[in-house]
Structure 1
Amino acid sequence: MMFGFGDSHSPNPDTVRLVESILLKQLRTLIQEALKYSDGKNLGGEELVFLMRHSKQKMRRFVTYLRNKQNKMILQQPVGSSTIQLVDTPKGPLMEFIERIDETGEFTDLTEFDEVKLERQLRADRISQALDEKRYLEFCKARCRSFTSNYTIQRSLEKLRLWVDPKKEINFKGEALDVLAYYAYQTIAEIVDYALLVRMDTKSGSNPFDHIPGSYYTATMFNGKHQFQEDNPDYSKVHSSQPQITVNEIREVMRRVHTPQAGKLNFGGPIPETHFLFAL
């Protein structure tokens, strides 16, 4: 997953273990925060989704996830079993809950530009263009990794439940584990994003153009060169000789998250609305 988000083809094992420990702590914190809106023992998907209410952009991204998930289920239906009709607004318990708390309609308004998502797609596109067929297939597989498998979804969710709650003290209801898996995926994505931003900051020096929005998604994260300083940056380094994200870079991310005044840690825009819960 880290490779799919922009790390080296062979991530540093120590970095992976550190990211895993951060992820586990984040998920358990999310669970405890969500339990404040339940009876303390039973956790539903609605309580977890409610935590995203302060970020309209992340809520919109989750709405897109729900829509794509439902459309995928529709497309997987046997031919002739029913009329296939893709939908723009999925209906289900979580979507109905979002509509109930969305007083202004901004959570379900998907017309606004999502800069972060576009820059992630740009990064993946730049990498894929430089890869041969074999490496491209490996990169695609990494991009498709998630905490739920297409063919063993229930088994994957059960593993996730045992990981975050090995003593089975919490009763996860309905789609709670699915929302938790989505949070886990987004957390890994943002940790890698921030680590690459930290790397850019260490190499940018005093050049003011190195800090423009989006620069850390392109050439900078591969070879330390800004996208406007080199005509043909070698994006293939992401697969062959791209430096691994280091433990120190992840630690610097966490230092900046907990003490934002110590250094900028944003996507070229406003400071994140949450202090340390990446998925929110």
Structure 2
Amino acid sequence: MEYLEHQVKVSFYNEICLMMFGFGDSHTPNPDTVRLVENIVLKQLRSIVHEASKYSSGDVLKGEELVFLMRHNKHKMQRFVKYLHNKKNKHLLLNINTVKANVSQIKSNLLEFIERIDETGEFTDLSEFDEVKYERQLRADRISQALDEKKYLEFCKARCASFNSKDTTQRSLEKLKLWIDPSVQMKFNDEALDVLAYYAYQTVAEIIDYALLVRMDSKSSTDPLKHLPGSYYTATMFNGEHRFGGSNPDYTKVHSSQPPISLNEIKEVMRRVYSPQAGKLNFGGKLPETQYLFAL
């Protein structure tokens, strides 16, 4: 398989390095691995833009056209709806003294669009348990308990890293646009760039999830617990009795001794994704419509 080889002027290397740590990699990720992840994310974003452009009716790519691609995966759509609600609530808190409108009447264009295409109501049903997000949070909790104060503060910073800075400023959106389209051949509205930033973040998260699954597969081929739902999100952080908990578990070697995710582990993730016919070597389950695009 060939990955994107050419260099771009804009880079999200530092942000991806932090995100990888925040999602479960070593606090000092392998530089070559970070660059490979960056290339995969960029290639996938460009594929998403290409697919979304098929539904575009004008010269400007809109957020709705990007969100439409997610319609085949209700769980990821629900997660995105939660993201939009959290973003709206954050905006209201930051502008609590200036917002005069009724809070119930404030709704983003993307939320309204999702409601229009949500014929069964499943996209906006936020009562359903999000196992993937929960397991990521559980993994983060296990890691945080293994870190000293200095590393914990670094971990908190890493957990806040994203592709759209802190407040989705125009400057960060411009950086993302130039990263995806350095030749400036396409036009995006701000909502589209925000959706792409979200997709990029979720792509990094999925890659790290699967890389840890690959690592667990290589170390615990006879583990009777490996097939439990969500077990691969946390099993790689524990050995022996540490996995089962206890009254006073020793967390000192849970994360700090984990080696950085290697190039080969990322390449194995991509091999499994692009070779689902390998049977046991794939990730299991029914293949989604957009099986090659992690964010969708």
Superposed, which structure 2 residues align to 1:40-51 within 5 Å? 41-51=59-69
Match of 1:170 among 172, 186, 190: 186
Could you tell me whether the CA contact under 8 Å between 1:8 and 1:245 is conserved in 2? yes
* Counterparts of 1:52 and 1:102, CA distance in 2: 12
TM-score under structure 1 length normalisation: 0.90
Which residue of structure 2 lines up, in the alignment, with residue 6 of structure 1? 24
Establish whether residue 64 from structure 1 lines up as the match of residue 79 from structure 2.
no
Shift of 1:214: 2.1
Shift of 1:156: 1.0
**More displaced 10-residue stretch of structure 1: 202-211 or 22-31:** 202-211
* Counterparts of 1:225 and 1:19, CA distance in 2: 30
**Paired AA for residue 207 in structure 1:** D
* Counterparts of 1:85 and 1:134, CA distance in 2: 43
Which residue of structure 1 lines up, in the alignment, with residue 3 of structure 2? none
**Paired AA for residue 47 in structure 2:** T
Which residue of structure 1 lines up, in the alignment, with residue 208 of structure 2? 192
Q: Do the aligned partners of residues 194 and 265 (structure 1) sit closer, same or farther apart at CA in structure 2, a change above 3 Å counting?
A: farther
Could you tell me whether the CA contact under 8 Å between 1:75 and 1:84 is conserved in 2? no
Q: Do the aligned partners of residues 214 and 227 (structure 1) sit closer, same or farther apart at CA in structure 2, a change above 3 Å counting?
A: farther
**Paired AA for residue 22 in structure 1:** I
* Counterparts of 1:8 and 1:84, CA distance in 2: 45
Q: Give 5+ residue unaligned stretches, structure 1.
A: none
* Counterparts of 1:85 and 1:122, CA distance in 2: 36
Which residue of structure 2 lines up, in the alignment, with residue 54 of structure 1? 72
For residue 183 of structure 1, give the secondary structure of its aligned residue in structure 2.
Answer: helix
* Counterparts of 1:75 and 1:193, CA distance in 2: 32
* Counterparts of 1:250 and 1:105, CA distance in 2: 36
Match of 1:22 among 40, 48, 62: 40
State the Cα deviation string for residues 150-198 of structure 1 (Å, max 9, x = none). 2562111111100110111101024100000000000000000000001
CA-based RMSD: 2.3
Superposed, which structure 2 residues align to 1:93-242 within 5 Å? 93-150=109-166, 153-218=169-234, 220-222=235-237, 225=240, 228=243, 231=246, 232=249, 234=251, 237-238=254-255, 240-242=256-258
* Counterparts of 1:46 and 1:82, CA distance in 2: 26
Shift of 1:109: 0.3
For residue 211 of structure 1, give the secondary structure of its aligned residue in structure 2.
Answer: coil
Q: Give 5+ residue unaligned stretches, structure 2.
A: 1-18
**More displaced 10-residue stretch of structure 1: 145-154 or 123-132:** 145-154
* Counterparts of 2:183 and 2:245, CA distance in 1: 54
Which residue of structure 1 lines up, in the alignment, with residue 268 of structure 2? 252
Q: Do the aligned partners of residues 32 and 227 (structure 1) sit closer, same or farther apart at CA in structure 2, a change above 3 Å counting?
A: farther
For residue 162 of structure 2, give the secondary structure of its aligned residue in structure 1.
Answer: coil
* Counterparts of 2:106 and 2:236, CA distance in 1: 37
Could you tell me whether the CA contact under 8 Å between 1:54 and 1:273 is conserved in 2? yes
Could you tell me whether the CA contact under 8 Å between 1:67 and 1:90 is conserved in 2? no
Shift of 1:206: 2.2
Q: Do the aligned partners of residues 229 and 105 (structure 1) sit closer, same or farther apart at CA in structure 2, a change above 3 Å counting?
A: closer
Which residue of structure 1 lines up, in the alignment, with residue 8 of structure 2? none
Shift of 1:274: 2.8
For residue 225 of structure 2, give the secondary structure of its aligned residue in structure 1.
Answer: helix
Q: Sequence identity, in percent?
A: 65
Which residue of structure 1 lines up, in the alignment, with residue 108 of structure 2? 92
Shift of 1:131: 2.2
Shift of 1:9: 0.4
**Paired AA for residue 251 in structure 2:** D
For residue 51 of structure 1, give the secondary structure of its aligned residue in structure 2.
Answer: helix
Shift of 1:44: 0.5
Aligned length: 275
Shift of 1:133: 2.2
